[in-house]
Amino acid sequence: MNTGQYISGAAHIGLIGWALLGGVFKPAPEPFEVTEVAMISAEEFDAMMAPTEAPSLDSEMVALTPPDPEATETEPPQAEAPDPAPVIAEPDAAAPPPEPEQAPDVAALLPPEPPAEVEDVAPVLVPPVEAPVTAAPDLSDRPQTRPTTRVAPEPVAPPEPDVKIDDIAQDEAVDDGAAEVQREQQEQTAEEEAATEIVTEAEASSSAPSTSVRPRTRPTRVAQPAPEPETDTGTQAAVNDALAQALAGGTAEPTTPSRPSGPPLTSGEKDALRVAVQKCWNTGALSTEALRTTVVVTVQMNQDGTPETGTIRMVDSQGGSTGSANQAFQAARRAIIRCGARGFDLPPEKYEQWREIEMTFNPEKMRIK
């Protein structure tokens, strides 16, 4: 009974609902306008709505943008701006083109006027001693050292005629307008031609031996030291013990306060410094007596590798008079200052090791023979 009532009730409710919702009692639908819509995200909606909120957002952006690094990265024009800034700082000091009336910083104008340099060097490049040599039919095929007015540890081939002579060979750099970063213009330079030894006219024009060798005296026999007397076994054992103890490494002294700390310079780093100094050590204008004088010079170094010129001092000299030692010292000082002007190539992390340098200038190989 109840079951039949429930079924009948549900069927009536469903019929009444269909009649109400199914539009059985509604009038016929009126015509309507169809409009296309698109799905947008909340951010896009905010962006669309932003103009309406401009007054309040404007002040907020000004305050937020500068410290936000991502903001500059996402905006290409603003990202370019910070890059040129440090680059421009250097050309500003060195390159006058933007403001021709501004006095140039002469300290930065390393290359002098090119025509003048070339004119100055030209006579040097022409070997003056070859012209008078007419009687040289018996030249050997051996490669001969070219007579030049410059002698250097390493031979240097004659540079191109138009190349400026400088202590350091550099490639040419020109102003390239298309490049984003402007390079400072750099004239091509080359080291002056050099031979490894002085070649006289007599040596240059003939392969014949030019010096007569005097008969040498027989070397005196060096007295051999007397053989060590053999030690007894007890002593030998004591020595062995001491040797083992010493090699165990337990006897290292504590570092004295005056000893520089940190790793020492490698032999390569020392060689680089030595080569750099000797490139500027010109003994060409020294007297023969000064060329027999060895001077020991100390110098305090700045952290950028440049010498403190006021600290260059001669601490010792050997082999000559006071006057010749002074001449030799002057040549040594010029070498340190000249080639150190741009800073020696020394490892900054080992500054404590080269804060003070002692250089011995030994001209034995530079003497007139």
Partner 1 sequence: MMKRLLTLLAALMALSLPVSAQNGPLRIEITEGVIEPLPFAAPGFVPESGAARQLAQDIAQVVAEDLAGTGLFRQIPDSAFISQISSFSSPVQFADWKAINAQALITGAVDLQAGGRLVVKFRLYDVFAGQELGQGLQFAGTRDGWRRMAHKVADAVYSRITGEGGYFDSRVVYVSETGPKSDRKKRLAIMDYDGANVQYLTDSSSIVLAPRFSPTGDRILYTSYETGFPRIYLLDVASVRRRVLEDQEGTMSFAPRFSPDGQTVVYSVTRGGNTDIFRMNVATGQTKRLTSAPSIETAPSFSPDGSQIVFESDRSGTQQLYIMDANGGEPRRISFGKGRYGTPVWSPRGDMIAFTKQSKGRFHIGVMRTDGSEERLLTASFLDEGPTWSPNGRVIMFTRETQGAGGEASLYSVDISGRNLKRVKTEGGASDPSWSPLQN
- Is the CB of residue 338 less than 8 Å from the CB of residue 280? yes
Alpha-carbon distance 294 to 318, whole Å?
Answer: 5
Region of 4-12, 45-53, 69-77, 329-337 interacting with partner 1 (CB under 8 A): 329-337
94 binding partner 1? (CB under 8 A): no
Binders of partner 1 among residues 163 to 202 (CB under 8 A) are 167, 192, 194, 198-202
Residue 71 or 133 having the CB closest to partner 1: 133
Residue 184 or 356 having the CB closest to partner 1: 356
337 binding partner 1? (CB under 8 A): yes
214 binding partner 1? (CB under 8 A): yes
What letter would DSSP give residue 306?
A: -
Query: By C-alpha distance, which of 111, 121, 110, 109 is closest to 162?
Result: 121
Of these, 87, 88, 94, 265, which contacts partner 1 (CB under 8 A)?
A: 265
134 binding partner 1? (CB under 8 A): yes
Q: How many CA atoms lie within 13 A of 72 on its CB side?
A: 10
129 binding partner 1? (CB under 8 A): yes
Of these, 151, 185, 314, 342, which contacts partner 1 (CB under 8 A)?
A: 151
Q: DSSP for 23-64?
A: TSSSPPPPP----------HHHHHHHHGGGGHHHHHHHHHHH
Binders of partner 1 among residues 230 to 249 (CB under 8 A) are 231, 235, 238-239, 242-243, 246-247, 249
- Is the CB of residue 318 less than 8 Å from the CB of residue 294? yes
Alpha-carbon distance 201 to 136, whole Å?
Answer: 11
What letter would DSSP give residue 77?
A: H
Query: By C-alpha distance, which of 259, 263, 353, 351 is closest to 305?
Result: 351
Region of 12-20, 21-29, 36-44, 111-119 interacting with partner 1 (CB under 8 A): 111-119
334 binding partner 1? (CB under 8 A): yes
Alpha-carbon distance 79 to 322, whole Å?
Answer: 64
As measured in angstroms, the least distance from the Cβ of 273 to partner 1 is 6
Contacts of 257 (CB under 8 A, 6+ apart): none
286 binding partner 1? (CB under 8 A): yes
Contacts of 117 (CB under 8 A, 6+ apart): 111, 164, 165
368 binding partner 1? (CB under 8 A): yes
278 binding partner 1? (CB under 8 A): yes
Q: Is 357 helix (H, G, I), strand (E, B) or coil?
A: strand
119 binding partner 1? (CB under 8 A): yes
Of these, 65, 78, 287, 302, which contacts partner 1 (CB under 8 A)?
A: 287
- Is the CB of residue 114 less than 8 Å from the CB of residue 160? no
Residue 14 or 128 having the CB closest to partner 1: 128
Binders of partner 1 among residues 5 to 34 (CB under 8 A) are none
Burial class (CB in 10 A: 0-12, 13-18, 19+), 121: middle
Of these, 49, 62, 135, 178, which contacts partner 1 (CB under 8 A)?
A: 135
Of these, 72, 145, 206, 306, which contacts partner 1 (CB under 8 A)?
A: 206
59 binding partner 1? (CB under 8 A): no
326 binding partner 1? (CB under 8 A): yes
